[in-house]
Structures are given as structure tokens and as C-alpha cells.
Amino acid sequence: MEEKPGFITPPPGLIPPAPSTPSETSETVRLGDRRPAIPVFVPAMPGATPPPPPVASPVEAVPTTPVAVPAVPAHAEAPPQWSLTLHDGSVRYVSGTLLLGRDPARVEGWASAGLMVINDPEKTISKTHAAIDCSGDEFFIVDLHSTNGVAIIAPDGTETVADDGVRTAVAVGSDIELGRYRIVLNRQ
């Protein structure tokens, strides 16, 4: 290899190799059967017994741009505060309508929705996986024809798989599974 004057050769391993296998593409990886529950960070209540030490997760979430919550005039009643506890324990406060995915894009019927990027290195979450609507006293999720679906695990352990394109109510304290990624819904 001929070096150009002024070019500094990076040390070996610094530059990753070009994608060469199907797992390194931008395509969503299709899962087989549903996996067993993945541990999730849940903040302890004051005076409660501390939870057991966390178990390492195969999916690492990287903080992304926070979702903006619009300011409310002092004289108006404040909208309900919803929060999502992500896989890495970080909390996102959300309101209104949002599209969730690895690289969400506006889709027909959801043109005014905000976008929330979820880092999923395993690529089990579709680029635009689901829509959430938390503009009132209830929280809904819609599977946007994702590859690996949306499952809701209620606090009592009941599991519901959301049908494509159908608004599905989610109870406070439920876990929401997008592919292998688990989110916990809370209300402040």
C-alpha cells in the first residue's frame, strides 16, 4: 500500500472492517420464539427492600436525544406525566404521540408524531417499530407492522401481543417488549 504524504496510518483495530455478514446490515433480525423475561431496572420506593443486583443484559441502550415535553402555561392543568424506563435504567419523560424504533421515520397516519430512537445493537427492533399515544389519561401502543412485534406484560404477569395497526391499551407498571428490548411504563 502506497502512503500519501501527511497521511497518518491508524493503529490496527481502530477502524472497524466493512460489513461482510448479514448480521451487520441495517435489516431487522427476525426472532424465533419469544424469549424469557429480561431483567429491567425498576427504581426502589423509599423504605422498600433494595432489589437484587442487576443481571447483565445482552442489549446495551445508548442515551439518545431526549423527547421534548411541551411547556404548559401555569393556569392550565398539567397533562399526565408518563415515563419510560429503558433497558439501561435511563428514564424518558414522554407526552403526546411518538414513533419508536432504531431509526424511526414518519409514516402515513402518524405525520405529526415525534420520533424516539432506541439503540438496539441486536437489531430486533424495526426501524419504525411502534407508535405510542400518551396524550390523555391512558397510554396506548400500536405495532406498526414490525418484524418482531409488540408484547405487553401487565403487572400481574398477563402477556398480550399487540395486533398490527391496532391501538392497544397499556396499564401503568407494564413492561413493553419491542423485539428483545424491554421498556417499563410508569406515570408520575
Q: How confident is the prediction along the chain (188 residues), in pLDDT tens digits per residue?
A: 566 677 777 777 777 666 555 455 677 878 776 655 555 556 666 766 665 665 554 444 445 555 555 555 555 555 558 999 998 888 999 999 999 999 999 999 898 999 999 988 889 999 999 999 997 789 999 999 999 999 999 999 999 999 999 999 999 999 999 998 999 999 87
Please identify which residue in the block is written with the cell numbers 429480561: 38
Give the phi and the psi of residue 183 in degrees, each rounded to 5.
Answer: -125, 140
- CA 156/CA 161 separation, integer angstroms: 15
- CA 1/CA 62 separation, integer angstroms: 37
Contact call for residues 127 and 103 (beta carbons, < 8 A): yes
- CA 95/CA 69 separation, integer angstroms: 6
Here the cell at position 114 is 415525534
Residue 172: partners with Cβ closer than 8 Å, 6 or more residues away: 139, 155, 185, 186, 187
- CA 43/CA 8 separation, integer angstroms: 48
Q: What are the residue boundaries of the structural domains of the chain, listed by start? A: 59-67+79-188
Here the cell at position 115 is 420520533
Instruction: Please state which of the four CATH numbers 3.40.1010.10, 2.60.200.20, 3.30.70.2390, 2.30.30.90 is assigned to the domain occupying 59-67+79-188.
Output: 2.60.200.20
Contact call for residues 40 and 182 (beta carbons, < 8 A): yes
Tell me the β-bridge partners of 109: none
pLDDT at 135: 76
